[in-house]
Each structure stands twice: as C-alpha cells, then as structure tokens.
Structure 1
Amino acid sequence: MDAAVVAIEEHGPDVTTEQIAGQAGVSRPGLYRHFDGKDDLQAAIAARSVERLVTELEPVWRPSGRPREMLERAIAAHLRWLAEHANVYLYLKRNSLPTGGDSVESASTNVRSVVSAHVTQMLVDGSLGAEIPPATAHPLAWGLIGMVDAAAAHWLDEPHGFTVEQLGAQLTEACWAVIGVTIGSRAVEALDTVGVDTA
C-alpha cells in the first residue's frame, strides 16, 4: 500500500497497475496475488489513505482552545492533507467509485464518513464547548464536512489564484456562519467564550 501511494503521487491519478506493481517491486500478476482484482486494490488504497488522513487530523480529535480556533485548525489540517496528497485524492475520486450493491463505498465518501463521525461526536459530547442534540449535530457535521470537501475538490481542479490558506480562511468563515444559523447566535456567543483565559 505504501508503494501504491508513492506510485500514485509520482505518476498522478491515471497511474497504471503496472506502475504500482513496479514501485512495489513485483510483477502485475504478483500484485494480484495479494488482492482480488482491481477493485480490491483500490479499496485497500482507499483504506490506507483514510487511515493516514485520520492520523494527520489526530490533534483535532483532542480539542483545546476556542471552538472557532479548533474549527480553523481542523479545516487547515484537512486542506493541507489534500494539497500535499492531491494525486492520491484525485485517484480515489476517480477510481474508487462503487460499482454495485456489494462494493465498498467510494473513498471520498469514506473520508467524509470518518471525519463526519468524529465531528458529530465532538458536537454531541460537548468537546467543542456545548452539547448539541444528536438530531441537530448529525446533519450539521455532515453538511459542514460535505461543504469543505466539495470546495476543496473544486479548488484542486481550479484554484482561481486562491492559496490553501485563503481557502481555509473562507471555509472557516462559512462553516462558522452555518454553525451560528443552526444553533443560534446566543449559543455561538457562548461557544466563543470557551477556552478564553479570564484570569
């Protein structure tokens, strides 16, 4: 899997199975002794990539400071991972789409699922400074992650002169506004005091 990721980053999202096998130092038939076809290989690459992203975001799952700053850090970490591994992300978007009812979910959907589950839990358990009811937290988390993911994917294709830092700032503003509309301005004002040193 590590060799596959290296091959994708080197050759781009149109990497061939032969190039992946070459990077791993095995023949193409040898590669498929480890996987049950191309779909299984792509699913394994997707799983490894999600694992790496979750590891990259590990500090975010241990929140500290003000909620808006935590949001900003989480978005920045996600965008940094996408920018540094753009070819892997594009490969997953292109090649790990489900082909039938028994197939794995797409890699991009899997990434959103993992991150959304973490964010939902943080909203529900009060890690971000207030306990939000599950009925509100679930669509809020999934909506925020969906917006960030879609905007980031478009930015990778067409940056329009925006830096990753500028995109992060814009998405932080947008997400914070959505949170405010969803839970109310008074709740947001209360959240904004969490983590502030009043001594």
Structure 2
Amino acid sequence: MSETSPTDGRALRWAGHREARRLEIVDAAVAAIGEHGPDVTTEQIAARAGVSRPGLYRHFEGRDDLQSAIAARSVERLVTELEPVWRPHGRPFEMLARALRAHLRWLSANGNVYRYLKRTSFGTGGESATTNVRATVAEHVAGMLVDGSLGAEIEPAVAHPLAFGLVGMVDSAAAHWLDAPHGASLDQLVAQLTEACWAVIRATVGPARLDAAGSP
C-alpha cells in the first residue's frame, strides 16, 4: 500500500486551502451582487472579499472563470433551497403550490442575483445560468410527473415536454413580476401560477387520470 509523502500531504492541504478561499470569494461576490446589483464591478467584489483586484484574480482564470463560479454557486443555492420540494408529501396540488412558493420566495429575496444570472454564461456551453436553473428544475418536475407524485403516472415522452413548458412559463412570469409586479403580491402570484400549472397538467393528462386527492 502506497503512503502519501509529506510533500504530497502539504500539496493536498494547500489545494484545500485554495479551494476554500476561492469559495469564500465567490460567496462574497454573491453578497456584493445582492448589494450593488447585476452591474457590480470587480472592484466592489474585491472589496467585499477583502482582497485587492489583482489578489482576486489569483484565485480565478480571468473574469469569465469568476462569473462561471458565481453562477454555479448561485444555482447550487437555489437547488438547495428547493431541495425539500423533491421529497413529495401531501396532496399534489398543495405540493405544486409549495414548490412555486419556494421558488418565488428565493427570487424575491435574491432579485439582483437572478438578474445577474440572466446575463451570465454558465460553464463552457455558453448558456445562461438561468437556462441551467430551468433545466435542472424541469428535470426534477419531469421525474415527479413520471413517478406519479403530482397525481398520475405520465409517460416520459409526455412528462418531459410538459415539465419544461411549465417551468418556462413560471420562470417567464416570475421574471416579469420581479421587474413589474403591477401590484401583485407574492401570495397572489403563487395562487395564479399554481392554478395555471394545474390546469395545464389536467388538460394534458386528462382529469380522469388524476388522483382525486390531488384536486384543489
């Protein structure tokens, strides 16, 4: 059995320290975005992180790498916020309402971060970070439709387009509400979107196939 040499051990500890420091800077960047908005400057991020601008980029391979790391961290936080939704319990209609409330609550509390994500590429694919969020959430929703968590087992060929359509509708409506609420409260938007999504599910699946316990 091979043993780790002292040199290897020091290298591992140093790599761990660098990764931890990088994460601290990313969290500081997210906080700076929340404070200053999506047009936050590198100088504002560096100040929040307690480093100089050159010091900031010792941890990242340029601005694109920093933006990608911020996007990845923000997506991770949102998915964590929604994680309880993926453990379904209760009536399907109520589960849908809880999922929408969790998403809109996060959006309301992190509006500047969301706006930043809309204009930021994620990874190397060139897609926006919000596109990545929609895809992640839609895959979860599709799984719930397939396994019957939302009232009826739906074949994947129907469930996946339905899930992506529902998530796209919610994301578009929520983004508009964030910038122009027109007097609608979060509770009102949750109720409206829950009814709309449920109506689409019923129209696609057929009311007779839905579990009666899922009806509002």
Normalising to structure 2: TM-score of the pair? Answer: 0.83
For 1:78-157, list aligned pairs within 5 A: 78-94=103-119, 96-97=120-121, 102-157=124-179
* Post-superposition CA distance 1:105-124 (Å, at most 9, x none): 21110110111111111111
Q: Distance in 1 between matches of 2:110 and 2:188?
A: 18
**Selected match of 2:192 from 164, 170, 184:** 170
Name the CA shift for 1:45/1:60 in 2 (closer, same or farther; >3 Å). same
One-letter amino acid of the counterpart of residue 176, structure 2: H
Deviation at 1:129, TM superposition (A): 3.7
* 1:70 to 2:95 alignment: yes
Q: Distance in 1 between matches of 2:126 and 2:56?
A: 20
Contact 2:147 2:153 in 1 (8 A): yes
Deviation at 1:35, TM superposition (A): 1.4
Normalising to structure 1: TM-score of the pair? Answer: 0.90
Partner of 2:38: 13
* Post-superposition CA distance 1:4-43 (Å, at most 9, x none): 1110111111111110111011111211121122121111
Name the structure, 1 or 2, with higher relative contact order (CA <8 Å, separation 6+): 1
**Selected match of 1:4 from 10, 29, 33:** 29
1:57 aligns to what SS in structure 2?
Answer: helix
One-letter amino acid of the counterpart of residue 77, structure 1: A
Identity among equivalent positions (%) equals 71
**Please, which runs of 5 or more residues in structure 2 have no aligned partner?**
1-25
One-letter amino acid of the counterpart of residue 189, structure 2: L
Deviation at 1:103, TM superposition (A): 3.8
One-letter amino acid of the counterpart of residue 134, structure 1: P
Deviation at 1:57, TM superposition (A): 0.8
Count of aligned residue pairs for this structure pair? 191
Larger Rg: 2
One-letter amino acid of the counterpart of residue 132, structure 2: N
* 1:49 to 2:74 alignment: yes
* 1:58 to 2:83 alignment: yes
Runs of 4+ in structure 1 off by over 3 angstroms are: none
Deviation at 1:79, TM superposition (A): 0.2
One-letter amino acid of the counterpart of residue 102, structure 2: A
